[in-house]
Amino acid sequence: MTHQESLATECSKNGIRWHFNPPRASHFGGLWEAAIKSAQHFIRVIGTHLLSYDDMETLLSQIESCLNSRPLVPISDDPTDFEPLTPGHFLVGSSLKAVPDIDLTTTPFNRLRRWQQTQKLFQLIWKRWHREYLSTLQPRAKWCNSPVQLATNQLVILQDDNLPPMQWSTARIVSLHPGNDGVTRVVTVQTPTGLYKRPVAKICLLPVPSSSNEQTHDNMNNQQNDDST
């Protein structure tokens, strides 16, 4: 009761007002409910495996770091800058990092110590969430239509299933290679290690578009409306 009174006094002093969603309306939450849904992957991976309090606390902290390491939007328009803005920047001022560890996903649990068992669960959760999260960033469309609106110097995420936890492969689009029908299915990307050709199906757009991409998309929509008129 004392804590509730002090919290109410502090909120009233700073002009903070609470607005709650209606009961049984989790879809009102939007982005934060989607993040909670992503965190629930650990329930499916753990299953009936028993964890101590310390192991569970460590695992939940690592899952939190994974979710807060996802790229959101480019930090700058510099073609040589491959670092995106992440939720970790709002928490600690920079992107979250993890120490590389040995891949334990194929090792049986009975051959691992407690710390290694926790790390195996963490790696399994990362592999599952990382793959499903990237699939949500890839819009689906018919092969005869352009599935995504791509532009040069655009920061994208490259799909790579072999990355360790909390590492993302980002790149800048250097050039587009449209086919005879005008649909771009292959692009050349610049990464910190060099130039590579990649199919559009293996490229994921950032969840928050930059202002330049939004302007390009709006101009294309206006042009299509003018043509239809």
pLDDT at 98: 84
* pLDDT at 21 (0 to 100): 83
Domains of the chain: 45-209 (2.30.30.140)
pLDDT at 211: 58
How much is the pLDDT for 145? 55
pLDDT of residue 132: 86
For the chain (229 residues), the mean pLDDT of every run of 10, in chain order, is 90 88 79 72 80 91 90 89 91 87 90 92 90 80 59 91 89 91 88 91 82 47 43
pLDDT at residue 138, rounded to an integer: 78
pLDDT score for 88: 92
- Pairing of the two strands 203-205 and 169-178: unpaired
pLDDT, position 111: 92
- Is the whole model's pTM more than 0.85, yes or no? no
8 Å CB contact between 79 and 58: no
Structure tokens at 39: 């965190």
Predicted local confidence at residue 213, as pLDDT: 52
